[in-house]
Chain A
Amino acid sequence: MNPKSDLYLFENYKNKLKREKKIIISWQVIILISFFAIWEIASRLYWVDPLLFSSPSKVVDLLISKFSDGSILPHVQVTLFETVLGFILGTILGIIIATLLWFSDRLSKIMDPYLVIMNAMPKVALGPIIIVALGPGYVSIIAMGAIISVVITTLVVYSGFREVDPNYEKVLKSFGASQIQCFKEAIFPATLPTMISTLKVNVGLSWVGVIVGEFLVSKQGLGYLIVYGFQVFDFTLVMSSLIVIAIVAGIMYKIVEKIESWLIKHTG
């Protein structure tokens, strides 16, 4: 076959990929538009109670006014701050605990049943206790965002440490490496991809912790707006907050995904 026809086949293949991509994006847009369209129509024609379910046009009006007078920004900032901090704290603490468990086999055996229980337990149920212990404020909410991801991070990262090929340690030990050196040179870098993949899980978990925390106790934040809107029967506010959360959480997830691929590329 001559190079020209090879090129032709390749172009053909690329066009096919492009077409497939177009179809997928079209469907995604169709679903999005029809969701909002049906919602709007259902609300206008009283298929659903507009007082309870609001409508996209009302939500958009509210969002425009709230963003233009800037009154929603502090709420977004507060929630974002709490979530990011809870996420980072939960991940780092989880990695630190996993490290301690790796260093002491005995400690890990002792802690095993407690970790299992902590993992099985719905962490948000601890909310009231955390609030009593840490006071009704940011600290408690950040703690909720962290506690929800710390146990699962510990378990995943610890099992990642354990799965590192023991021969890497053997190589280092033949050079007389200490436990700490083995950890630094082999165990930790080998487990980095696992740690990075926990980041994506933890982002979602931290949102749960923070929003529930804000439900329970707060004077600001998107979770607060939801509860407030619910209490004063302003469901347009509830829906608006939900949409803001969806957008911000989506952006945050995408950023973590970008960080993940960057880290994987730059750590081998």
Chain B
Amino acid sequence: MSFLTLDHVSHHYFSKNNYTKALDNISFSVKDGEFIALLGPSGCGKSTILSIIAGIIKQTAGEVLLEGKLINDSDLAIGYMLQQDYLFPWKTIKENSLIGPKIGRSKTSEVENEALKMLKEVGLSNVANSYPNALSGGMRQRVALVRTLITDPKILLLDEPFSALDYQTKLKLEDLVSQLLRSYHKTAVLVTHDIGEAISMSDRILVMDSNPGSIAKIFEVPLELRNETPFLVRKHPKYQILFDRIWDELNKNESTSGQTKVVSNQNESQI
């Protein structure tokens, strides 16, 4: 059954003199426990889709359904990981990972123990009382992961969460996230511009076209790749084949997509 559905979703950004169509008629659905990737160049509206699913911004047209209910009526927890960790520098690691329950007023000693357990699971139990500035980028992003998972979200939105990390840390963290999500059976939407990351982590890849953002093509990741860890996927022979197909698709989009379609308000521009 379909867990998350986007039905003809469009979004415009308005400013005083003009407007930009960021998303045009986006429709797709995600099954329970599925991991999908939105792949595309920067500025194609990938992050806008996540913000809409998270309910942080409201789409200008179309509907988003989570388990058959409109996103704003749904009280299901959503986990959102951003490009950078955005840990609060004035809170300890433990306090940072418990910010979700604190906001939701569900911070009990059980939840606290759960957080400590998860910090241990990602190898950070010894820094629970440190402050974020004492941690490396990879460690901080792992804290952000715990912070996201502690509210037990039904769906995880990953907005290029590895893009600010060095390559080695990124690969390690991909494995960790992939393994954790599988063990907790989470549905996830990953936004990325890294083809390798999309192939190695997800079950399905939605390649996006920009100006305005729309879905150009959907690639299914072969079953053999889905069950491997991201690190091993990159060594698989089928990895390169899929990589090349996606590469061609992205290049095709680049050559056909026109100039920025910013529509100016005629009255304003004549003055």
Contact = CB atoms under 8 A, between A and B. Distances in A.
B103 A185 contact: yes
A168 interface: yes
B13 to A, nearest CB: 15
Q: Report the contact-size class of chain B (Cβ under 8 Å from the partner).
A: 20 to 34
Contacts of B86: 165, 167-168, 170-171
B100 interface: yes
Contacts of A175: 77, 99-100, 103-104, 151
- Between A177, A190, A268, the greatest number of chain B beta carbons within 10 A of the residue's beta carbon is seen for A268
Contacts of A181: 103
Given A175-B104, A176-B103, A189 B79 contact: no
A2 interface: no
Contacts, number: 51
Contact of A174 (B54, B88, B133): B54
Interface in A158-196: 165, 167-168, 170-177, 181, 185-186, 189-190, 192
Contact of B104 (A176, A186, A192, A268): A176
B151 to A, nearest CB: 6
Contact of A172 (B51, B90, B103): B103
B239 interface: no
A170 B84 contact: no
Contacts of A231: none
Given A165-B86, A185-B103, A267-B90, A174 B79 contact: yes
B3 interface: no
Contacts of A190: 90
Contacts of B131: 268
Nearest to A177: B103
Interface string B96-113: 000110111000000000
B89 A171 contact: no
B1 to A, nearest CB: 25
B127 to A, nearest CB: 15
A167 to B, nearest CB: 5
Given A189-B90, A268-B90, A173 B56 contact: yes
B180 interface: no
B78 interface: yes
A244 to B, nearest CB: 40
Contacts of B100: 175
B159 to A, nearest CB: 9
Contacts of B78: 174
B35 interface: no
B162 interface: no
Contacts of A172: 99, 103
A264 B89 CA distance: 12
Interface string B32-69: 00000000000000000001001110000000000000
Contacts of A174: 54, 56, 78-80, 157
Contacts of B84: 167
B218 interface: no
B103 A189 contact: no
B79 A185 contact: no
Given A174-B56, A185-B88, A189-B90, A167 B82 contact: yes
- Between A168, A171, A181, A190, the greatest number of chain B beta carbons within 10 A of the residue's beta carbon is seen for A171
B192 to A, nearest CB: 18
Contacts of B151: 175
A181 B90 CA distance: 16
B56 A189 contact: no
16 contacts: A167-B82, A167-B84, A168-B88, A172-B103, A173-B55, A174-B79, A175-B99, A175-B100, A175-B104, A176-B104, A185-B88, A185-B102, A186-B88, A192-B90, A268-B90, A268-B91
Nearest 3 A-B pairs (CB), nearest first? A174-B80, A268-B90, A175-B103
Given A173-B54, A268-B89, 19 more contacts: A167-B84, A168-B88, A170-B80, A170-B86, A172-B103, A173-B56, A174-B78, A174-B157, A175-B99, A175-B103, A175-B151, A181-B103, A185-B103, A189-B88, A189-B90, A190-B90, A192-B90, A267-B90, A268-B133
